[in-house]
Structure formats: structure tokens, C-alpha cells
């Protein structure tokens, strides 16, 4: 009990004191997660729509592939991107390893399948009459799909938020590709891992509470955006 009480007290203190380490980590977390979420939405939503609307016989295969990608562990994604970004990899000359950009790349790969899958699910759940109706009413193929997206916008929104959740909560990619550099690539989750490794459990727990608060604020903001 002591542990939990002291964690909570430490969390309140951390939030109240605006410790620069915590502010930096929260900012880095938000920035890389937002960046990765934007890119994941740009890739994932069109892929989800394309697969959902496709009548191809490969559709079943594509769905299985997306489901599998959702289950890929974060460290595997991290390792894969690491292979590309290391100085010995094909993109090594860019010097991107251990930068926030590297985390954004990994996070994008991590979140895209989730966004695509959730989008796909809402396409499947949509009223099947939407597309034909829009087409009969004289909309072009593209205009009809835009109409469909408008109808399933809550599903697409949920897809993007789920993608954000995956990135902001993961530690494998951020640790491997960012390197947990203080004030630069240290995110909330890698900071928690570090504090835990130092045996500072209450401090780690406190950071966890800060992370949840940040996630809560982001989601409140998003749902506000959605409701308006």
C-alpha cells in the first residue's frame, strides 16, 4: 500500500513542480506519437478503405495480413527499422538512428495496421446501400467514397485514436530507435523503464500516472473535436 500511496504523492508533486525532465519526456512522447499518428492515418485509412471496398479474391488474404501485422511485437518493428537506419543499413547515411524522427518512423509502422484494420471494420459495418445510393444520385466513384467516409467518420476517428494509443503507450520502438537520450529522445515510457531499472519504482509509477493524465487530456481534446 505504501508503494502506491507514495507513487501517487510523487505523481502529484511531479505534475505540480513541472520538472523539466518530465515536461521534456511528455513533450517528446506527444510529439512523436502525434507525428506517427498523422502518418499512420495517411497510410492506414486509405489502405483500410481500399481493402474494405475491394471485391478482389485477394481480399481475405489482405485482411489476414493486416490482422497479423497488428500482432507484431513492438521490439520486432524496432529491430526491423533499426536494420534500415543503422550506419550499416541501407538508410544509414541519413544518420537518423537515435533521433525523434526514427521513433516517428517506427511508430508509423506500428500504428498503420491498427488504423487500417479499424477503418476496414467500420467500412464493413457501414450500411451497404451507401455507395450504390451515392452512385445512383450521380456521385462519381471518388465522391461516393468521400460520402462513405463521412458516414463512417466515427469509426475512422476511433481508428486514428487507437493508433495514437498504440504509439504513445509502447516502449520497444522508442527505446530501440530513440535510445532513451535525456532531453532529446526520452519519452514517458522509456523514462518509466529507466526509473524502474534504477529501482525508483514510485517515481516510475508517478510518471505512469502523468502519462495517463496526458493521454486523458489528448482524448478529451479529440472527443471535443469530434463532437463539435
Partner 1 sequence: MRTAARIANNGKGNGKMRRSLRFHGATLVAVLLVMTALPVRAEERLRMSTTTSTENSGLLSVLLPLFEKECGCKVDVIAVGTGKALKLGEAGDVDVVFVHARKLEDKFVANGFGVNRRDVMYNDFVLVGPPGDPAGVGKTQSATEAFRAISAKGSPFISRGDESGTHRKEKEIWASAGIAPKGAWYVEAGQGMGEVLTMATQKRGYALSDRGTYIAFRKKTDLVVLRQGDANLWNPYGIIAVNPAKFPHAKYGLAMKLIAFVTGPEGQALISGYKVGGEQLFFVSGEGKKN
In contact, 16 and 88? CB cutoff 8 Å: no
Q: How far is the CB of 226 from partner 1 (least distance, A)?
A: 9
Stretch of residues binding partner 1 (CB under 8 A), selected from 47-55, 111-119, 191-199, 207-215: 191-199
In contact, 8 and 209? CB cutoff 8 Å: yes
Task: Among 6, 8, 15, 38, indicate the residue that binds partner 1 (CB under 8 A).
Answer: 38
In contact, 103 and 173? CB cutoff 8 Å: yes
Return the DSSP state at 99. S
Report the residue number, 37 or 117, with the smaller CB distance to partner 1. 37
**CB-based contacts of 54-57 (< 8 A; 24+ apart in sequence):** none
> Using CA of residue 129, residue 51, residue 164, residue 189, what is the dihedral sign?
positive
Residue 199 makes contact with partner 1 by CB under 8 A: yes
Task: Among 62, 79, 92, 169, indicate the residue that binds partner 1 (CB under 8 A).
Answer: 92
CA separation for the pair 153, 11 (Å, rounded) = 36
Report the residue number, 50 or 151, with the smaller CB distance to partner 1. 151
Task: Among 5, 17, 125, 198, indicate the residue that binds partner 1 (CB under 8 A).
Answer: 198
Task: Among 184, 212, 220, 223, indicate the residue that binds partner 1 (CB under 8 A).
Answer: 184
Residue 28 makes contact with partner 1 by CB under 8 A: yes
Report the residue number, 120 or 145, with the smaller CB distance to partner 1. 145
Stretch of residues binding partner 1 (CB under 8 A), selected from 11-19, 48-56, 111-119, 178-186: 178-186
In contact, 155 and 122? CB cutoff 8 Å: yes
Place of cell 490482422: 67
Report the residue number, 70 or 147, with the smaller CB distance to partner 1. 147
CA separation for the pair 151, 21 (Å, rounded) = 43
Task: Among 61, 64, 76, 182, indicate the residue that binds partner 1 (CB under 8 A).
Answer: 182
CA separation for the pair 55, 122 (Å, rounded) = 16
Report 136-165 residues binding partner 1 (CB under 8 A).
137, 139, 146-147, 150-151, 153
* Interacting residues of 32 by C-beta distance below 8 A, sequence separation 6+: 100, 103, 104, 107, 167, 174, 178, 187
Binding-site ranges for partner 1 (CB under 8 A): 27-28, 30-32, 34-35, 37-38, 41, 86-88, 92-93, 95, 97-98, 100-101, 104, 127, 129-130, 133-134, 137, 139, 146-147, 150-151, 153, 179-182, 184-185, 196-199, 222, 225, 228
Amino acid at each position: 500500500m505504501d508503494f502506491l500511496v507514495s507513487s501517487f504523492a510523487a505523481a502529484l508533486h511531479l505534475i505540480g513542480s513541472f520538472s523539466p525532465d518530465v515536461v521534456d519526456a511528455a513533450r517528446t512522447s506527444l510529439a512523436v506519437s502525434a507525428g506517427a499518428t498523422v502518418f499512420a492515418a495517411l497510410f492506414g485509412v486509405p489502405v483500410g478503405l481500399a481493402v474494405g471496398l475491394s471485391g478482389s479474391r485477394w481480399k481475405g488474404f489482405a485482411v489476414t495480413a493486416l490482422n497479423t501485422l497488428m500482432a507484431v511485437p513492438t521490439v520486432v518493428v524496432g529491430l526491423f527499422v533499426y536494420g534500415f537506419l543503422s550506419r550499416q543499413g541501407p538508410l544509414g547515411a541519413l544518420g537518423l538512428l537515435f533521433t525523434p524522427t526514427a521513433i516517428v518512423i517506427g511508430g508509423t509502422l506500428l500504428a498503420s495496421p491498427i488504423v487500417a484494420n479499424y477503418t476496414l471494420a467500420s467500412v464493413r459495418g457501414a450500411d451497404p446501400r451507401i455507395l450504390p445510393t451515392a452512385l445512383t444520385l450521380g456521385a462519381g466513384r471518388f465522391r461516393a467514397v468521400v460520402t462513405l467516409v463521412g458516414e463512417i467518420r466515427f469509426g475512422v476517428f476511433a481508428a486514428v485514436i487507437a493508433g495514437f494509443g498504440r504509439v504513445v503507450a509502447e516502449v520497444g520502438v522508442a527505446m530501440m530507435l530513440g535510445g532513451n537520450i535525456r532531453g532529446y529522445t526520452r519519452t514517458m515510457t522509456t523514462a518509466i523503464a529507466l526509473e524502474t531499472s534504477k529501482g525508483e519504482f514510485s517515481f516510475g509509477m508517478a510518471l505512469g500516472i502523468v502519462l495517463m493524465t496526458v493521454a486523458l487530456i489528448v482524448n478529451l481534446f479529440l472527443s471535443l473535436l469530434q463532437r463539435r
